[in-house]
Amino acid sequence: MSSIKASKLSSATFDFEQYVLDCKTQIEHSLDLWMKPHEPEILWESMRYSVLSGGKRLRAILCMAAAEACSKDRETARKAVMPCAAAIEIVHAMSLIHDDLPCMDNDDLRRGKPTNHKVFGEALALLAGDALLMLALEILLDRSDASVTPKNVMAVASELTRAAGALGMVGGQVLDLSYTGQGIERTNAFKALDNIAIDEAILGTIHKKKTGAMIRFSAWSGAKLASANEKQLSTISEFGDILGLAFQIADDLLDVTGDVTTLGKTPGKDEASQKATWVRVFGVEKSQSRLEALEKKGLELISAADFNADAVPALAAILNYAIHRKN
């Protein structure tokens, strides 16, 4: 990488911690504002319990940073993407609620707190997830900023349905359950895949859909709402793919190297349920070197991109954080 390109990736004035704090403050405020409780009270309590329970907000921050990278002005970019950033975090939270249910991963702990079904019961956890999915679309469609064209809002809503649905996250979850060895109650359809060896292609497909689709969407939607051109959209999508894969490999590594207090969820679950993970297929060292390669590729991509140079350090720092995070 040339020094000119490398210098685009960092800036003497850029403070990632402050950037994250600033983005998070805006996201938490919007989520709280757009999720004011209604009747039935218990449903909203359950919905708010999972959405407003912390979390890194990585997807929302990525959406904001992608918008800033394709816009001349940070404030305009943020206004344009805030409903989408909120919708992304709401879809993400609903997927965690359903993922933690006894019929799937059967987890007791999430973000350092008892999982939704442990507090509200399975029926309400399921329904809170359903309601959140619809609320996410409602916010995206109804709260969009006047600066965004209706055509772009519709394009983003349409892409969200694909990223979260059968072609994306839900499809990936089904594949993930299909290749999970044990520990969950499975149907005959899932059992049919029992003896198939998991390789890189299978692993790649599972994670591209389960985790990658929403991360790619977070990056793409931010750029789209900032009226990015086709070249910028394809570059930010490629960056989203790299980030999504890196995020998942780091997640698999944390399951073997992390501790419950830092992670806020139970480590060792992947191993116990024989999940299809990067660590299981390639081991720790190879997974780590894959992460290094992805980081290099991602940084090269954004340093050469036609983005607002002031916003590139944030994208670089997000990739670095996704890879080197401790939770």
DSSP secondary structure code for residue 57 in this structure: -
Query: Residue 58 interacts with ligand GRG (CB under 6 A)?
Result: yes
Quick one: which of 46, 95, 152, 232 contacts ligand GRG (CB under 6 A)?
95
CB nearer to ligand GRG: pick between 137 and 309: 137
Quick one: which of 63, 96, 163, 311 contacts ligand GRG (CB under 6 A)?
96
| Smallest distance, ligand GRG to C-beta of residue 107, A | 10
Window 146-175: residues binding ligand GRG (CB under 6 A): 164, 169-170, 173
Quick one: which of 78, 98, 117, 275 contacts ligand GRG (CB under 6 A)?
98
Using alpha carbons only, what angle is made at residue 251 by residues 7 and 217, rounded to the nearest 5 degrees?
65
* Stretch in the footprint of ligand GRG (CB under 6 A) among 94-102, 144-152, 224-232, 280-288: 94-102
Query: Residue 210 interacts with ligand GRG (CB under 6 A)?
Result: yes
Name the nearest CA neighbour of 97 among 75, 76, 124, 72. 124
Residue with nearest beta carbon to ligand GRG: 55
SS3 109: strand
Q: Around 102, how many Cα atoms within 13 Å sit in the side-chain half-sphere?
A: 5
Name the nearest CA neighbour of 36 among 98, 91, 80, 86. 86
Q: How far apart are the first and last CA of the chain?
A: 30
DSSP secondary structure code for residue 113 in this structure: E
Query: Residue 113 interacts with ligand GRG (CB under 6 A)?
Result: no
Query: Residue 133 interacts with ligand GRG (CB under 6 A)?
Result: yes
Quick one: which of 28, 68, 99, 107 contacts ligand GRG (CB under 6 A)?
99
| Smallest distance, ligand GRG to C-beta of residue 37, A | 22
- 216-245 exposure pattern, b = at least 16 Cβ within 10 A, e = fewer: bbbbbbbbbbbbbeeebbebbbbbbbbbbb
- Point out which residues bind ligand GRG (CB under 6 A): 55-56, 58, 92, 95-96, 98-99, 111, 133, 164, 169-170, 173, 210-211, 251
